[in-house]
Every structure is written in C-alpha cells, then in structure tokens.
C-alpha cells in the first residue's frame, strides 16, 4: 500500500483489464481512487500503470477492510468482477466493513433480476446499490465509456460528478444519465448488447454479399467501409470493420480476416434480450436471427458435412461465380441502403423492447436520452443515434421508429435497393437472415391487413379459441368442419 493522507473519493474492486482501465480513467480525471483485488499482483500492476500513465491519484490496497476504510463517506465502491456468484462474494467481503448510506456499484454485465435481488439484500444493511452498464470495451473504459446506471437515485447523485467526467463526451453532454430504478441500468445495457448483435450480423451479411456476389477484394471492402463511415452509416462498428480488412496475416501471409475460423462466441446478453422480447410479446426478429446465426456458426463440422452431402446430392455452389455480370457500383450502393434500412429495424426492435419493459416495471425510461448516451463511448455508437434521439424528442410516444416521418421517408426510399439485395442473396444461396428478418419485420408492420385471419380461423376450428370479426363486435365461434362438409358437397376439384 502507498501512503495516503487524504481519503479517496471513490473505490474500485476487481482489477482485470476493464477494472484497471476504468480506475485509471477516474484517476486521470482528478478523482483520488482506492483500488483492490483479491489477487495482489493485479493491485501492483494497476499501481504501476498509474505511475507510468500518470502519475495519477491512485492508491492500492490488499485487503477489503483497509480498502473500504480508505474511502470518504458516504463511500461509493465500483465492483468489476465476473457476473453471478463472484459479485455476491465481493459484496459480502466489502459490505462487512461498509456503513449505512454507503453504496456499491456493480459495473458488470449482470442479469437485471440479480441486481434487483441485491438491492433488497444490501438495503437491509442500510446500503445503497447501483447496477451500471458499462459499454465501450477496454478502450471505452480507459478513455470514456457509455455508462448506464440504474438503482438508487441518491447513490447516483453521490457520484454524478465523477461519472459525468469519466464518460465519453459528445456535443450534447456526457454519455451517462440516471436510467431509472431497480435493474433498469442492467436491462438497458442488455438491450444495447442485443442491438449490437443485430448490428454485427447485418454488417457481416453486407460483407458476405459484397464478397461472394460482387467478387470484391478485402482491399476494396476496406475502402468501401471507410467511405460508408463518412456518410449516414458512420459508426464505430463500420469504422473498425474497414480496419479489419486492412490487416495482413503475420503468421502465414495474405489477409488475416480470411484465416479466422467462422465460429462466433457469445456471453449471453443477446440470448437474454431475445428471451425478454418473447416474454413481453415484443417482436425482435433481427436480434433473434443474429442469435440463431451465432448458434449455427458454432456447428462448424456439421456445416462442412452438410456442404459435402448436399453437393453430392446435386447442390450447385453458385457462390464461386462471384462478380460475374454484376454491376459492382450499383451493388455497393444497394448494399449500403439495405444495411441502413435493416439497422433502423434492429434499433426499432430494441427500443420497443425497452419501452415494453419500462411500462411493465414503471421505470419511466427516456428513450431519446438513451439514444443520446449511446452516441459516444459504446460499441453501437453511430451518427444516426442523434436522429433516433430527435425522433423520440419530437414524439415521446412514438410507436415505432419506422413511423417517425423522417425515418419513414428513408425506409420508403431504400426499400427497392433492400429488396434487390435480399433477392440477389437468396438466388445466389447466400444467407442474409438479419436483412431478411428486418425486411419481413418492416413488411409485416406496414401492412394494414395480414394473413393472421386464417390462423385465427384454424385456432377456432381445432381448439374453439374463438375469433373477432371486422364488421361486428364480440367473440365468435364457428363449427367449421360441419359447415365445410355441408357446403363442400357441391364444390368441384380445382382444375
């Protein structure tokens, strides 16, 4: 431990890379911070980084008691440990030394109900609690993340000045706001990650179509994504995608992206998002399709086996004829428009899920403000989030982003290109589940009358579930089979 005369303003326990980076960020902004980790070497490492990158007002501690006592009251302690049991263990170790009015802030990707349980548990000891989503990865944690704190409003006010300095800064303020009560901060971060799944899937499909239908090289793809990043698609994910195509393989020559195994990992937040959408009866097909694709990508051996069996059965692999007779310039522009329209649907689904949960829990989430704090620091930061913010400012009760007048106009303008890309991909045998799901969502949502009338008739026939009529009020039930037999006697076969 280094000598420290004054008490620290805040503490941080859990010094893996995210924890270290956030601690250094806080210290660099001039807030004295105490740090602690069960493994002593992590404390040493953080102190060394504090010296090398600073010097910063950062002090390391090697046991929970000294760590807690080094923080000025009311104490605020951020914990950044693995979700689940490690969080409970850390809370138990720290809370033993904490006093009424002190606060614990969990900065991990936690299931929102665990946060709500912990709020109740620590409240019994007089402690306050925040579940705070932190987005932006290692880089964001060090230089400015998007922060989504939910739980005790008093606890938020105690550290508001710190969070506002530490968060990413955009032209309309820091990328942090008080989200709401209970587990709302974790829930909002979870949906952010679900939107991120959709975004990444859609970008990978754009790449697949350009590469395998358009025959574009990695060099051309790098240039295209860099150009897209100067327009309406400007975003962190588009920018890093351009960079990925530029990297050479140091181990075996060629481009590194082509050497990477096509199996996607995941940590669970995308699955939670889809589960919550189902629980709340909110359609989130783009996010669900992206999750399904991650599952299918994991079946590498099965897919290789299927490819050879279906080839033997006569399946022609048209993917190899990339670029033949294709107007590349038009394809690139069409894919850009299809990607933009698909992304709007993905964000619309995420926002609708947030609104439904907010209504269920009484969180009173401000969707425009959430779009604003995602404009910087986080993985889904994008220029069009400012337009989403404005859409909700124009109409806080907006039913869906696609019916905001500005977005509606753009969807209509882009739909022809969108349909061309999806059609081209389908005929070439390239799977675009995200784009297809987004287009199907748009086409279903915009139709005043669907084929659901037939499904209701079927449900009534086999289960007497009743149906409503378009011309009369009330519920109806029909003896369909009896009536069909009666009227079917005179009906001839279709010729």
Residue 83 assigned to a binding site? yes
The verdict on whether residue 281 carries a ligand-binding annotation is no
To the question of whether residue 38 is assigned a binding role by annotation, the answer is yes
| Residue 29 annotated as lining a ligand binding site | no
Q: Is 192 annotated as a binding residue?
A: yes
Does 109 count as an annotated binding residue? yes
Binding site annotation covers 219?
A: no
From 377, 345, 361, 348, select the one nearest 148 (Cα to Cα). Answer: 377
Q: Check the annotation: does 15 bind a ligand.
A: yes
320 is in an annotated binding site: no
Radius of gyration of the chain, Cα coordinates, nearest whole angstrom:
27
> For this structure, is 304 an active site residue?
no
- Is 82 annotated to bind a ligand? Reply is yes
**Is position 51 annotated in a ligand binding site?**
no
**248 annotated as ligand-binding:** no
Residue 459 is assigned to a ligand binding site: yes
* Distance, CA of 160 to CA of 137 (rounded, Å): 21
375 among the known binding-site residues? Answer: no
3-state secondary structure the chain: CCCCCCCECEEEECCCHHHHHHHHHHHHCCCCEEEECCCHHHHHHHHHHHHHHCCCCEEEECCHHHHHHCECCCCEEEECCCCCHHHHHHHHHHHCCCCCCCEEEECCCCCHHHHHHHHHHHHCCCCEEEEEEEECHHHHHHHCCEEEEEECHHHHHHHHHHHHHHCCEECCEECECCCECCCHHHHHHHHHHHHHHHHHHHHHHHHHHHHHCCCCCHHHHHHHHHHHCCCCCCEHHHHHHHHHCCCECCCCCCEHHHHCCCCCCCCCHHHHHHHHHHHCCCCCHHHHHHHHHHHHHCCHHHHHHHHHHHHHCCCCCHHHHCCCCCCHHHHHHHHHHHHHHHHHHHHHHHHHHHHHHHHHHCCCCCHHHHHHHCCCCCCCCECCHHHHHHHHHHCCCCCCHHHCHHHHHHHHHHHHHHHHHHHHHHHHCCCCHHHHHHHHHHHHHHCCCCCHHHHHHHHHHHHCCCEECCCCCCEECCCHHHHHHHHHCCCCCCC
Could you tell me if 182 and 112 are in contact, meaning their C-beta atoms sit under 8 angstroms apart? Answer: yes
According to the annotation, is 226 in a ligand binding site? no
Among residues 28, 110, 116, 196, the one annotated as catalytic is 196
Distances (CA, A) of 289 to 325, 355, 418, 435: 30, 21, 17, 9
Residues 6 or more apart whose CB falls under 8 angstroms from that of 393 comprise 368
Query: Among 42, 189, 211, 343, which one carries the catalytic annotation?
Result: 189
Q: Is 273 annotated as a binding residue?
A: no
Query: Is 263 in the active site?
Result: no
137 is in an annotated binding site: yes
Q: Is 197 annotated as a binding residue?
A: yes
d(CA 107, CA 83): 9
Establish whether 19 is an annotated binding residue: yes
Nearest-10 Cα torsion for 261, 263, 269, 274? 140
Does 420 show up as a binding residue in the annotation? no
- φ and ψ at 39, to 5 degrees? -90, 115
CB < 8 Å & 24+ apart, contacts of 220-223 = 221/245, 222/246
Which positions are annotated as active-site residues?
A: 189, 196
Residues annotated as binding site for substrate?
A: 109, 135-137, 192-193, 197, 267, 294, 459, 465
Residues annotated as binding site for NADP(+)?
A: 14-19, 37-39, 81-83, 109
Residues annotated as binding site?
A: 14-19, 37-39, 81-83, 109, 135-137, 192-193, 197, 267, 294, 459, 465
């Amino acid at each position: 431990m280094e000598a420290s005369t004054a008490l620290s303003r805040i503490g941080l326990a859990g010094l893996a890379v995210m924890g270290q980076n956030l601690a250094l960020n806080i210290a660099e902004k001039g807030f004295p911070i105490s740090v602690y980790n069960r493994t002593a070497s992590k404390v040493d490492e953080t102190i060394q980084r504090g010296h090398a990158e600073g010097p910063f007002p950062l002090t390391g501690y090697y046991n929970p008691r000294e760590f807690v006592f080094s923080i000025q009251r009311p104490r605020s302690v951020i914990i950044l440990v693995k979700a689940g049991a490690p969080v409970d263990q850390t809370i138990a170790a720290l809370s033993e030394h904490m006093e009424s009015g002190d606060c614990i802030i969990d900065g991990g990707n936690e299931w929102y109900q665990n946060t709500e349980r912990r709020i109740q548990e620590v409240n019994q000891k007089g402690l306050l609690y925040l579940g705070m989503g932190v987005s932006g990865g290692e880089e964001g944690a060090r230089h400015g993340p998007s922060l989504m704190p939910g739980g005790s409003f008093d606890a938020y006010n105690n550290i508001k000045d710190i969070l506002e300095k530490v968060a990413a800064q955009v032209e309309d303020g820091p990328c942090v706001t008080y989200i709401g009560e209970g587990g709302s901060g974790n829930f909002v971060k979870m949906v952010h990650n679900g939107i991120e799944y959709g975004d990444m899937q859609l970008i990978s499909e754009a790449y697949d179509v350009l590469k395998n239908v358009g025959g574009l090289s990695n060099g051309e793809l790098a240039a295209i994504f860099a150009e897209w990043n100067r327009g309406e698609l400007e975003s962190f994910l588009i920018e890093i995608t351009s960079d990925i195509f530029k990297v050479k393989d140091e181990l075996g020559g060629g481009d590194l992206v082509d050497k990477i195994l096509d199996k996607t990992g995941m940590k669970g937040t995308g699955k939670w998002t889809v589960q919550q959408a189902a629980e709340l009866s909110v359609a989130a097909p783009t996010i669900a399709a992206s999750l399904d694709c991650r599952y299918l990508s994991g079946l590498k051996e099965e897919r290789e086996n299927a490819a050879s069996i279906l080839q033997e059965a006569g399946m022609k692999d048209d993917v190899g004829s990339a670029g033949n007779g294709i107007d590349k310039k038009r394809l690139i522009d069409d894919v850009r428009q299809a990607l933009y329209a698909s992304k709007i649907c993905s964000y619309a689904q995420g926002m609708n899920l947030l609104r439904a949960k907010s209504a269920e829990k009484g969180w009173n989430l401000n969707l425009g403000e959430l779009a604003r704090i995602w404009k910087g620091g986080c993985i889904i930061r994008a220029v069009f989030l400012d337009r989403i913010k404005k859409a909700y400012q124009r109409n806080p009760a907006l039913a869906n982003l696609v019916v905001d007048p500005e977005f509606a106009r753009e969807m209509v303008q882009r739909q022809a290109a969108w349909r061309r890309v999806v059609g081209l991909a389908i005929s070439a045998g390239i799977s675009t589940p995200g784009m297809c799901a987004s287009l199907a969502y748009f086409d279903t949502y915009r139709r005043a009358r669907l084929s659901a009338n037939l499904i209701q008739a079927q449900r009534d026939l086999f289960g007497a579930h009743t149906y409503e009529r378009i011309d009369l009020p009330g519920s109806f039930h029909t003896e369909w089979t009896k009536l069909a037999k009666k009227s079917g006697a005179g009906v001839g076969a279709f010729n």
